[in-house]
Amino acid sequence: MEQVREIPCHEITETVRRLFIAANTELPPDLLKAIRDAREAETSSVACSILDQILDNADVARRESLPLCQDTGLAVVFAEIGQDVHVVGGDFSLAIREGVRQAYRDGYLRKSLCDPLSRANTGDNTPAILHTEIVPGDQIRIIAVPKGGGSENMSGVSMLLPAAGWEGIRQHILQKVAQGAANACAPVLVGLGIGGAMETAVVLARRALLRTIGDPNGSDERLRDLERVLLADINALGIGPQGLGGRTTALAVHVEMAPCHIASLPVAFQLQCHAVRHMEAIL
């Protein structure tokens, strides 16, 4: 029998607290590189000025520990829990929730969660949106993803006809990007989840955004082609940073895929704003 490793809840809470504060103030290095590269390639003065503001903002936010964006997001958490872990000293979900509550209080982060109908603010940015997965091993991997509302509203899932095929998906995504890029704070990162059941597609699209920016899909040659072609098509639209014209409408397209029903072609797309915020830790 495998040795069971104990992880106390207070460590989980403290980790979640730290990750959400850090994720809201520091952009990942791969994203900064992608924006610098985009700045080099831009020719329009408005586009250059916006990309300069984004780089300047990342610098100020990091140095002064200020949130990068006033929308510090819903607190989305991906937790991969090793099957040989025993969580002790409390309730796992509540430990995550407490970490979120403390991060948004202590980090001066905006509380952006409300009742869907009355629109009354929940006051502490909880509950968290928690995705758990049981994996081999005796560790817990926690990924904190502050998810802003503006780009979330430009995302969605569509059940296409299987006859649509790749060309149908391409047209569909180009249309969604053209409609949504200005609202979604372009340059965007496009996450596509193709296949599975409806909810699989959505989670695939979300997870696709966590991949290192510009790293091609590691498992499927066809998807690597789709990513390259779609990125070129999107940037040929000329929509540009903030929808004000330019070459950089998307920084990258990340596609993930899973088998789907013979009757279906689920396609989830996530237009992620240029603040691709996520931070992770392993316990």
Partner 1 sequence: MMQASVISLRTPLTADVCRELSAGDRVLLSGSVLTARDAAHRRFADTLRRGGRLPVSLQDETIFYAAPTPTPPGRVIGSIGPTTSGRMDPYTTALLGAGLRGMIGKGRRSPEVVEAIRKRQGVYFAATGGVAAVTSRCIRSVSLLAYEDLGPEAVLRLEIVNFPLIVVNDACGGDLYEMVLKIARTND
Q: Which residues bind partner 1 (CB under 8 A)?
A: 44-46, 49-50, 53-54, 56-57, 60-61, 64-72, 108-112, 119, 121, 123, 149-150, 153, 178, 182-183, 185, 236-240, 242-245, 273-275
Residue with Cβ nearer partner 1 (27 or 265): 27
Residue 214 · residue 30 · CB < 8 Å: yes
Smallest gap from residue 163 Cβ to partner 1 (A): 23
Residue with Cβ nearer partner 1 (113 or 128): 113
Smallest gap from residue 92 Cβ to partner 1 (A): 28
Smallest gap from residue 124 Cβ to partner 1 (A): 11
Residue with Cβ nearer partner 1 (136 or 238): 238
CA-to-CA distance for 42 and 246, rounded, in angstroms?
Answer: 7
- Residue 169 makes CB contacts below 8 A (sequence gap 6+) with 160, 192, 194, 226, 265, 267
48 by Cβ neighbours in 10 Å (0-12 / 13-18 / 19+) ranks as middle
Smallest gap from residue 210 Cβ to partner 1 (A): 18
Among candidate residues 10, 46, 62, 56, the one with its CA nearest the CA of residue 279: 62
Smallest gap from residue 119 Cβ to partner 1 (A): 6
Sign of CA dihedral 187, 268, 99, 138: negative
Residue with Cβ nearer partner 1 (50 or 265): 50
Smallest gap from residue 148 Cβ to partner 1 (A): 8
The token pair that represents 21 in the structure block: 């504060």
CA-to-CA distance for 255 and 147, rounded, in angstroms?
Answer: 19
Smallest gap from residue 21 Cβ to partner 1 (A): 12
Smallest gap from residue 108 Cβ to partner 1 (A): 4
N-terminal to C-terminal alpha carbon distance within the chain? 22
The token pair that represents 25 in the structure block: 């103030």
Question: Strands 5-8 and 85-88, how do they pair?
Answer: parallel
